[in-house]
Amino acid sequence: MPATGADSGCRVDHTVNKWTGGYTAQIKVTNLGPALSGWRLTWTYTGDQQVTSAWNATVTQTGDSVTAADAGFNRTLATGAAAEFGLQGTWRSADPAPVGFALNGTPCGGGGTVPPTTPPPTTPPPTTPPPTTPPNGADCGSAVICSDFEDQTGPAPSGAWQFTAPDCQGTGTASVDTAVAHSGSRSLRIDGEAGYCNHAFVASTADLSSAGPVVYVRMWVRHTTALPSAHVTFVSLPDTSQGGRSLRVGGQNGALQWNRESDDATLPAQSPVGVALSRPLPTDSWQCLRFAIDTTAPALDTWLGDELVPGLHADGVPTQDIDQQWLARTTPPRPTALRLGWESYGTGDDTLWFDDVTVDSAPVGC
Ligand code: CA
- For residue 133, pLDDT beyond 80: no
Is residue 272 helix, strand or coil?
helix
- For residue 86, pLDDT beyond 70: yes
Q: How far is CA 179 from CA 54, 182, 245, in A?
A: 9, 10, 34
**134 Cα–ligand 1 center, Å:** 9
Express as a percent the part of the chain with pLDDT over 90.
66
39 and 75 in contact (C-beta within 8 Å)?
Answer: yes
- For residue 196, pLDDT beyond 90: no
Q: Report CA 329 to chain centroid distance, whole Å.
A: 33
pLDDT at residue 137 in the model: 40
**138 Cα–ligand 1 center, Å:** 13
**45 Cα–ligand 1 center, Å:** 30
**144 Cα–ligand 1 center, Å:** 17
**Lowest pLDDT segment from 89-98, 214-223, 307-316:** 89-98
Q: What is the mean pLDDT of residues 341-355?
A: 91
Q: What is the mean pLDDT of residues 200-206?
A: 96
- For residue 267, pLDDT beyond 70: yes
Is residue 135 reached through a cis peptide bond, with omega within 30 degrees of 0 on the bond before it?
no
Give me the phi and psi of 235, to 5 degrees please: -130, 135
- For residue 257, pLDDT beyond 50: yes
Which position has the higher pLDDT, 9 or 222? 222
Angle at 38 between CA 35 and CA 43, to 5 degrees: 100
Task: Please give the single-letter amino acid code of residue 271.
Answer: S
Task: Please give the single-letter amino acid code of residue 339.
Answer: R
- For residue 57, pLDDT beyond 70: yes
- Strand segments, DSSP code E, in 120-177 are 145-147, 161-164, 173-177
Alpha-carbon span 185 to 223, nearest angstrom: 17
Which position has the higher pLDDT, 94 or 243? 243
Q: How far is CA 196 from CA 17, 164, 223, in A?
A: 30, 17, 20
- For residue 132, pLDDT beyond 50: no
Which position has the higher pLDDT, 330 or 135? 330
pLDDT at residue 16 in the model: 83
Alpha-carbon span 89 to 170, nearest angstrom: 19
**150 Cα–ligand 1 center, Å:** 5
Give per-residue pLDDT as tens, 166-188: 878 888 999 999 999 999 999 99
Alpha-carbon span 328 to 333, nearest angstrom: 13
**147 Cα–ligand 1 center, Å:** 8
335 and 239 in contact (C-beta within 8 Å)?
Answer: yes
Alpha-carbon span 162 to 339, nearest angstrom: 9
**346 Cα–ligand 1 center, Å:** 31
